[in-house]
């Protein structure tokens, strides 16, 4: 089978690997139908690292993915069924409860987890994968398999909203910093909950226009962030930071009102540390919430998408064969050709 490996910064190579047909009792063989190019993948592509975490090359990336079951083995699934793939695997954690893993933690914080494309676990930029049956969810027949990989980032967006615990009885004023796929999904999901006053900030005007047209953003701020920029208002009671660097934090804390909630979603690209002014946080008594991956089950996420007509199909603007992965990452990394999310298949 063909496998795409990042062999050095900004360079993919296609190699051949044998398909593992010797399945354990809890394993299933899946043909990958599409994997989205995520922002964290782009961090590794551009820098060979995620912050100061520098795994050795070659790297096997990819975690937003869907597939078709080729060998169901001893699972409840049927061969040739379309599935959504959870990159998170906590099957080695004992005594998994309804809401908590065996560590007594939420699934996304399990001490025994592995995650697709997170070294040393192999990623899904490949033709076939052996996966645990617990990682698979049947794809709803009303969702196009070509966009099934977008259910995973939708789960992250929903988890951001779950963490924020937005009070719908209040008049909410939302600021989203950064206008990538997850930002757009947060906007659309919030709107479906009845939150109408949503503002997105980004330096790329075409993305902002796209978010307003398809993902219910009401207000747009076209701005390149730099230090000591003062926002025109400080009336946002929720700020979702999808950028997470010195400048976004500085702007967001200035823009948030007293007793607001600041939800940290983005991963700093080059450094592990950012500078914040604790006095600004203290004076306004801001709550800071962090989001790690997702803790939303895929059946629930599919129901939310279908019930509220969340336009995940509008996220995928480009498709690339696995042999074209270099082209896909080049476009996504440079934000060219109005790409939002590219899918490699």
> Which of these, 280, 290, 185, lies nearest to 231 by C-alpha position?
280
Residue 260 neighbours by CB under 8 Å, 6+ apart: 236, 237, 238, 239, 284, 286, 287
CB-based burial label for 77 (10 Å; 0-12, 13-18, 19+): middle
DSSP string, 135-167: GEEEPPTTS-GGGGGGHHHHHHHHHHHHHHT--
Rounded mean pLDDT, 115-128: 96
Q: Is 309 a domain residue? A: no
Query: How many domains does the structure of the chain reveal?
Result: 2
150 in a structural domain: no
- 41 and 108 fall within a common domain: yes
Are 95 and 192 in a shared domain?
no
pLDDT band at 270 (very low <50, low <70, confident <90, very high): confident
- For the stretch 11-56, pLDDT in tens is 999 999 999 889 999 999 999 999 999 999 999 999 998 877 788 9
Identify the CATH number of the domain in which residue 17 sits. 3.90.180.10
CA atoms within 13 A on the CB side of 141: 0
- Residues 30 and 119 grouped into a single domain: yes
Per-residue pLDDT, averaged over 233-245, amounts to 96
My answer on whether 198 and 241 are in the same domain is: yes
User: Is the pLDDT confidence value at 95 over 80?
Assistant: no
Mean pLDDT of 112-118: 96
Same-domain pairing of 164 and 255: yes
- The HSE-up count of residue 251 (CA atoms within 13 Å, CB side) is 25
pLDDT in tens, 155-165: 999 999 999 99
> With the CA atoms of 11, 124, 302 and 201 taken in that order, what torsion angle do they form, in degrees rounded to the nearest 10?
-20
84 and 22, same structural domain?
A: yes
Q: What angle do CA 200, 206, 208 make, to 5 degrees?
A: 10
Parent domain of 283: 155-290
pLDDT grade for 183, boundaries at 50, 70 and 90: very high
Is 222 part of a structural domain of the chain?
A: yes
* Same domain assignment for residues 69 and 113: yes
* Angle, CA 52 vertex, CA 46 and CA 55 arms, to 5°: 70
Same domain? 63 vs 163: no
Could you tell me what percent of the chain has a pLDDT over 90? 89
- Is 147 domain-assigned? no
Q: Are 182 and 266 in contact (CB under 8 A)?
A: no
Cα–Cα dist 14/6, whole Å: 9
Residue 169 confidence class, pLDDT cut points 50, 70, 90: confident
Tokens (6 digits) for 182:
């997850």
Q: Read off the pTM.
A: 0.96
How is 307-343 classified by DSSP, letter by letter?
Answer: HHT--GGGTEEEEE-GGGHHHHHHHHHHT-TT-SEEE
What element of type H or E holds 32?
A: strand 27-36
pLDDT interval class at 272 (50, 70, 90): confident
Residue 300 lies in a domain: no
Which value, in Å, is the radius of gyration of the alpha carbons in the chain? 20
What pLDDT is attached to residue 240? 98
Same domain, 88 and 179: no
Residue 96 in this model has a pLDDT that exceeds 80: no
Residue whose pair of structure tokens reads 């494309």 in the numeric block: 117
Q: Are residues 267 and 340 in the same domain?
A: no
Helices (H), 33-119: 39-47
In whole angstroms, what is the distance from residue 24 CA to residue 30 CA? 14
Instruction: Indicate whether 295 belongs to any domain.
Output: no
Residues 6+ apart with CB under 8 A from 117: 41, 60, 61, 62, 63, 87, 123, 124, 125
* Domain annotation covers residue 303: no
Query: CA 185 to CA 142: how far, in whole Å?
Result: 19
Here the CATH number for the domain that contains residue 274 is 3.40.50.720
């Amino acid at each position: 089978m063909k496998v795409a490996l990042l062999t050095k910064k900004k360079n993919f190579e296609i190699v051949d690997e044998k398909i593992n047909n010797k399945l354990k009792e809890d394993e299933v063989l899946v043909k990958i139908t599409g994997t989205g190019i995520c922002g964290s993948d782009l961090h590794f592509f551009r820098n060979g690292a995620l912050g100061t975490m520098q795994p050795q090359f070659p790297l096997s990336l990819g975690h937003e993915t869907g597939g078709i079951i080729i060998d169901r083995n001893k699972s409840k699934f049927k061969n040739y069924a379309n599935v959504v793939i959870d990159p998170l695997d906590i099957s080695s954690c004992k005594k998994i409860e309804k809401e908590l893993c065996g560590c007594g933690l939420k699934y996304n914080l399990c001490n025994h987890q592995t995650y697709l494309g997170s070294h040393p676990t192999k990623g899904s930029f490949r033709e076939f994968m052996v996966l645990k049956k617990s990682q698979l969810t049947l794809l709803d027949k009303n969702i196009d398999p070509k966009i099934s990989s977008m259910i995973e980032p939708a789960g992250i967006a929903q988890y951001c909203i779950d963490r924020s615990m937005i009070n719908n009885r209040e008049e909410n004023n939302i600021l989203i910093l950064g206008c990538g796929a997850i930002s757009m999904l947060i906007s659309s999901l919030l709107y479906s909950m009845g939150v109408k006053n949503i503002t997105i900030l980004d330096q790329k005007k075409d993305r902002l226009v796209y978010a307003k047209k398809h993902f219910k953003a009401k207000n747009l701020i076209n701005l390149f962030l730099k230090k000591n920029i003062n926002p025109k208002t400080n009336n946002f009671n929720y700020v979702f930071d999808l950028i997470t660097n010195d400048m976004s934090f500085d702007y967001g804390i200035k823009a948030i009102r007293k007793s607001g909630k600041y939800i940290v979603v983005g991963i700093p690209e080059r450094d592990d540390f950012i500078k914040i002014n604790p006095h600004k946080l203290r004076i306004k008594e801001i709550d800071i919430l962090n989001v790690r991956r997702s803790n939303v089950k895929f059946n629930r996420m599919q129901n939310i998408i279908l019930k509220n007509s969340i336009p995940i199909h509008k996220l995928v603007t480009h498709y690339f064969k696995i042999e074209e992965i270099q082209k896909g990452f080049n476009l996504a990394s440079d934000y060219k050709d109005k790409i939002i999310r590219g899918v490699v298949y």
